[in-house]
């Protein structure tokens, strides 16, 4: 692509993001504001909406959200369940899980979705879950969440279940030099994401695709 095409892609991204932000409910805007005021930057709105749509596309009824302060993404996953199924949110940050729990408490009277929020590291909690019981897993936040969750995914997912890794280009880290696309960026997140991409794409148990949604999504479906 030439420079003009790249410029058009940038403008397209901005348009899509502005469109998603404008369409957000007041509840979601409040959740974003509360999280950011607590020092928990949130992913872009268009990514959160895509994750909600992915729940509907896959007809997932049992979802795990592994994140570090990913409040908006988690709430959009709950929206995607349309009042059915169950969502388990796993967050090692006390601030993030407190915000998720508060939102879940408000939603309990208006949904039949079973909502569970757990304050624990993924490496500690995920091995406790029953196997072959989940349709979709979404991973975000700290670099340590990714490899740990991928290791557990084949056991946790049902046949043809999917796992989605957000910020796989490592653009959300405030100390990056350029994320995964920049070989000079040897930060923890960028290094971990390069290894993750290689591990997922070389795993014969999964079919995967890397997309430019948000700050990079890696989507893998069990074969």
CB under 8 Å to 72, separation ≥6 — which residues? 28, 31, 32, 35, 42, 43, 45, 48
Token pair 């350029």: residue:
178
Instruction: List, for residues 119-178, the tens digit of each pLDDT value.
Output: 999 999 999 999 999 999 999 999 999 999 999 999 999 999 999 999 999 998 656 678
Q: How far is CA 57 from CA 40, 60, 135, 162, 189, in A?
A: 29, 8, 12, 11, 29
Residue 210 has pLDDT above 90, yes or no: yes
212: left (phi over 0), alpha (psi -120 to 50) or beta: alpha
Rounded-to-10 torsion of CA 98, 99, 101, 107: 160
Q: pLDDT by residue (tens digit) across 27-69?
A: 899 999 999 999 998 999 999 999 999 999 999 999 999 997 8
Can you tell me the distance from the alpha carbon of 33 to that of 4, in angstroms, rounded to the nearest whole number?
35
CB 32 within 8 A of CB 25: no
**How far apart (Å, rounded) are the C-alpha atoms in residues 126 and 154?**
12
172, 146 Cβ separation under 8 angstroms: no
Pick from 16, 120, 28: nearest CA to 73: 28
pLDDT of res. 68: 78
pLDDT at 174: 57
Give the per-residue pLDDT at 106. Answer: 86
Could you give all domains of the chain from N- to C-terminal order, each with its CATH number?
3-222 (3.40.50.150)
Whole-number pLDDT of residue 88: 97
H/E element, 145: helix 144-156
How confident is the model at residue 211, as a pLDDT? Answer: 96
In sequence order, what E strands does the chain have? 62-67, 86-91, 114-119, 134-139, 157-165, 206-211, 217-222
Q: What is the pLDDT of residue 150?
A: 98
């Amino acid at each position: 692509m030439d420079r003009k095409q790249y410029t058009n892609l940038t403008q397209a991204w901005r348009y899509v993001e502005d469109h998603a932000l404008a369409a957000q409910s007041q509840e979601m805007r409040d959740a974003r504001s509360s999280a950011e005021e607590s020092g928990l930057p949130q992913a872009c709105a268009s990514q959160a909406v895509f994750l909600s749509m992915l729940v509907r596309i896959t007809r997932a009824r049992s979802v795990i959200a592994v994140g570090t302060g990913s409040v908006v993404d988690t709430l959009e996953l709950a929206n995607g369940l349309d009042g059915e199924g169950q969502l388990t949110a796993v967050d090692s940050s006390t601030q993030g899980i407190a915000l998720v729990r508060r939102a879940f408490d408000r939603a309990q009277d208006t949904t039949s979705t079973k909502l569970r929020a757990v304050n624990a590291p993924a490496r500690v909690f995920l091995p406790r879950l029953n196997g072959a019981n989940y349709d979709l897993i979404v991973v975000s936040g700290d670099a340590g969440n990714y490899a740990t969750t991928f290791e557990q995914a084949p056991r946790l997912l049902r046949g043809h279940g999917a796992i989605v890794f957000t910020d796989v280009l490592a653009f959300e880290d405030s100390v990056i030099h350029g994320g995964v696309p920049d070989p000079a960026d040897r930060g923890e997140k960028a290094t971990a994401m390069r290894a993750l991409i290689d591990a997922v794409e070389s795993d014969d148990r999964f079919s995967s695709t890397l997309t430019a949604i948000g700050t990079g999504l890696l989507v893998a479906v069990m074969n």
